Structure 1
Amino acid sequence: MDTLAPMGYIKVTSVRMQGLLLILFAKQVHLPFIRDIQSTYTRTGLFGYWGNKGGVSVRFSFYGHMLCFLNCHLAAHMNYALQRMDEFEYILDTQDFDMYNTPQVFDHKVVFWFGDLNFRIADHGMHFLRSSINNGRFNLLWNRDQLTMMKKKEAILQEFEEGLLCFKPTYKFDRFSETYDTSGKKRKPAWTDRILWRIKPKAIDTEDENSSTTSSADDDEYPIKVTQDMYTCDVSYGVSDHKPVIGTFNLEMRKKETALVTLTVEGHWSADEDATFTYTILENCESSTWDWIGLYKIGFKSASDYSTFAWVKDDEVAANGEQKWLPTAPGVCVHCCVCALWMG
């Protein structure tokens, strides 16, 4: 948060299950267009009772497009490739969202699946592995990567895309070094840490004229596009025996939604007087008892860092375009901005 806030990014939400942590940041300009945020988690460790393995996810509507980010930590060791697939399918089956049009992960327009998926490089001996890595000939290892091999026979994996593995296997290193495991176990290097994505196939889009998130002629004319700009790892990071994997993507999509609210500051604000502003509802929207408007200090780092806020009562959600006055607490701060999150 300290690093990203000066770059204009705000923490929207997070979900954690033991060592699994997923944090969503967004540029401040996008906040009014991020709605219906929900998160959940699934335990798969110790027959589903322990959260050291499993998945955490965050889903939300972004300019009218439903996105889901799923972070997993799957079963370890070379011989458990099939168990990893079983765990992944179990996570997909058990993760439910309270959204009528996207109740499950695969209902979303775009899904990013990533984490310590724990797939290994099969068959090759240690000498061949290290020789190929040291010479930068990663392509010699691709056909024995378990995830690549499983993708040839698992239909569910064939729906996902992944960039080329043109970086060193990220497991297992001696901590605080760039040397692969020198302990007595001498674990074989592997691309355990991965980032994949899936665009919902048109054939399974549901047709519902009442939903702004389903397939339509506009969606066919302006399909969402995902382009991976970078896929690499940072070998200099030494706190873990894994090296962090980094992926950057460009999402091209039509902005199907506009901001629900615009705000106008009234008069000159000072710390010793009540501050007021008006808000205007730009379109008809379903009101909720959770709707609120917050006052933030300039440079705020998280959506929960408001200095003060006011609930938007049902009787204040008036006809389209009507203005309302909303007082804020006096003496909060001088350098502030008002943000209509309206995220439910």
Structure 2
Amino acid sequence: MAAMNPQTELRVRTLSIHVVTWNVASAAPPPDLSDLLQLNNLNLNLDVYVIGLQEMNCGIMSLLSDTAFEDPWSSFFMDVLSPLSFVKGNKGGVNIFLKFYGYYVSIINCHLPPHMANNDQRLEHFDRILEMQNFEAQDIPNILDHDLVLWFGDMNFRIEDFGLHFVRESIKNQCYSDLWEKDQLSIAKRHDPLLREFQEGPLLFPPTYKFDKNSNNYDTSEKKRKPAWTDRILWRLKRQPQATIHTPTLSAPHFTLFLRSYVSHMLYSISDHKPVTSTFDLELKPLVSAPLITLLPESLCTEESDLLISYSLTADFLSSPWDWIGLYKVGLRHINDYVSYVWVRDNQVSFSDGLNQVYIDISDIPETEDQFLLFYYSNNLHSVVGISKPFKIQPRSFLAEGPLDEAQPQI
């Protein structure tokens, strides 16, 4: 994105981020996830959901159905969130890289090796995951130079030394402080300089593993596994250079993360793990003054059988012949839910300094009173880089009869 003029002062923005981690143990979604997603909390106005699941059903029938259909968990979450204008992006895998107002953010969902004796393996995997995070684009920094790393998942760290009876009695009496001292992740953070840079909220909730399914009872099987805080949410803010006698202090950009809550959700019992959520407020002062692409629905007009779309782009945006603009109905669930799309080069009508026009065949647009959105997808960045405001398109019968200047969409 284009850097703003240093003299330009942009106001501080606050983004509310809700992070969910849950080992669902191959179970199907429960009937209601309102508590998990904090949908009934009227004091929250969330901007971003980050949802990481582990042990989703990976049977052969599930793999075959996932090839043709959306998996049931994604479908269930989007049934709830798409009416609230949240969109599921096209990213997948362990690491998601985002850019918020010019800041670099990485999101990592992990599932580390289980069992008490495999603590060294867990720590090795932690380091290896960090080492393997390489990005294709040349201008993306190393993950440890990102402004924020959110790392969560079933990390499988256990409680050492104490016996099963002591741990259960401590949990029953809500005396967690002794257990914290023997938590393997807490111990590792005291000795590993890199791991120490990752912060975590206080563990004021009971250990989240292992429960009998469909109950709030800890493991009553023959194995009687010792409870542990296996499901964790960590974060790391980029370190700022330390001032010395030879280097004056530089004013760091305003970029601060505040933890609002860190809780487990005992209400859900479909798995042997309880889900854990964190809600953050991310305060930042934007480093950019404009998006890479600005779509201008107010400039939409019709010309014979085409709908013309105007958009502007920043001077340093590198377009590709494979970039495209999609037309969507408001309430879409996924980037693939377009009504129609056009390749920006193939369908280009005109261009000038920073302003371009492309066309969509009007016959590809349904006659409806629904509201629409335009998305610009960058092939180079593998991401949506511009979204329009909602707008309406007049019915074609009206467009055919009315003068051209009355064919503007109703914003």
Instruction: Using the TM superposition, give the Cα deviation of residue 268 of structure 1 relative to its aligned residue in structure 2, in angstroms.
Output: 7.6
CA distance in 2, matches of 1:176, 1:158: 36
Q: Closer, same or farther in 2 for the Cα pair 1:323/1:173, shift >3 Å?
A: same
Q: Secondary structure at the match of 2:92?
A: strand
Distance 2:158 2:201 in 1: 17
Q: Kindly provide the amino acid, as one letter, of the partner of residue 157 in structure 2.
A: F
Shift of residue 64 of structure 1?
1.1
Match of 1:50 in 2: none
Give the C-alpha shift of residue 101 in structure 1.
3.5
Query: Is residue 64 from structure 1 mapped to residue 102 from structure 2 by the alignment?
Result: yes
Of residues 107-116 and 254-263 in structure 1, the stretch that sits farther from structure 2 once superposed is 254-263
Partner of 2:312: 280
Which residue of structure 1 lines up, in the alignment, with residue 47 of structure 2? Answer: none
Alpha-carbon distance change, 203 to 100 in structure 1, aligned in 2, over 3 angstroms: farther
Q: Which has the higher mean CA deviation after the structures are superposed, 93-102 or 127-136?
A: 93-102
8 Å Cα contact 2:341-2:360 kept in structure 1: no
Cα distance change of structure 1 residues 162 and 267 upon mapping to structure 2, 3 Å threshold: closer
Asked if structure 2 preserves the Cα contact closer than 8 Å seen for 1:110 and 1:200, the reply is: yes
Q: 2:166 aligns with which of 128, 152, 155?
A: 128
Residue of structure 1 equivalent to 2:360 = 327
Quote the Cα distance in structure 1 between the aligned partners of 2:264 and 2:206. Answer: 8
Query: Cα deviation per residue 1:56-89 (whole Å; 9 max; x = unaligned)?
Result: 1111222111110111111111121111111111
2:182 to 139, 144, 148: 144
Picking from 335, 343, 352, the partner of 1:311 is: 343
The secondary structure found in structure 2 opposite 1:179 is coil
Q: Is the counterpart of residue 254 in structure 1 residue 285 in structure 2?
A: yes
Instruction: Return 5+ residue gaps in structure 2 as ranges.
Output: 1-77, 243-248, 382-411
Q: CA deviation at 1:327?
A: 2.4
What secondary structure sits across from 1:118 in the alignment? coil
Residues 317 and 181 of structure 1: CA distance in aligned 2, closer, same or farther (over 3 Å): farther
The reply on whether 1:102 has 2:140 as its aligned counterpart is yes
Residue type of the alignment partner of 1:168? P
Q: Write the letter of the residue equivalent to 1:291.
A: D
Confirm or deny that 1:297 pairs with 2:374.
no
For residues 249 and 316 of structure 1, do their structure 2 counterparts lie closer, same or farther at Cα, with a shift above 3 Å needed?
farther
Is the contact made by 1:281 and 1:322 (CA closer than 8 Å) also made in structure 2? yes
Please, which of 364, 368, 374 is the counterpart of residue 339 of structure 1?
374
Distance 1:186 1:156, change over 3 A: same
Residues 289-309 of structure 1: CA deviation (Å, up to 9, x unaligned): 332211001211112211111
Query: CA 1:293–1:246 in 2, change beyond 3 Å: closer, same or farther?
Result: same
> Which structure is higher in RCO with an 8 Å CA cutoff and minimum separation 6?
2
Aligned-partner Cα distance in 2 for 1:229–1:317: 49
Q: Residue 85 in 1 paired to residue 117 in 2? A: no
Given the alignment of the two structures, is residue 188 of structure 1 paired with residue 223 of structure 2, yes or no?
Answer: no
Q: How many residues are treated as equivalent by the alignment?
A: 290
Percent sequence identity over aligned pairs: 39
Residue 162 of structure 1 corresponds to which residue in structure 2? Answer: 200
The corresponding residue for 1:8 is: 85
Which amino acid is 2:257 matched to? V
Counterparts in 2 of 1:196-207, with a 5 A limit?
A: 196-203=234-241
Residues 349, 359 of structure 2: 8 Å contact kept: no
Kindly tell me: are residues 283 and 261 of structure 1, through their superposed partners in 2, closer, same or farther at Cα, counting changes over 3 Å? farther
Report the equivalent of 2:37.
none
Bigger Cα displacement from structure 2, 324-333 vs 114-123: 324-333
CA separation of 1:164/1:239 partners in 2, compared to 1, >3 Å: closer, same or farther?
same
Task: Give TM-score scaled by structure 2 length.
Answer: 0.65
Give the whole-Å Cα distance in 1 for the aligned partners of 2:342 and 2:329: 16
- Rounded to whole Å, the distance in 1 between the matches of 2:116 and 2:300 is 67
Q: Please say if residues 327 and 341 of structure 2, whose CA atoms lie closer than 8 Å, have aligned partners that are also in contact.
A: yes
CA distance, structure 2, for counterparts of residue 341 and residue 311 of structure 1: 10
Query: Contact 1:263/1:338 (CA < 8 Å) preserved in 2?
Result: no
Could you list the runs of 5+ residues in structure 1 that have no partner in the other structure?
A: 17-55, 205-215
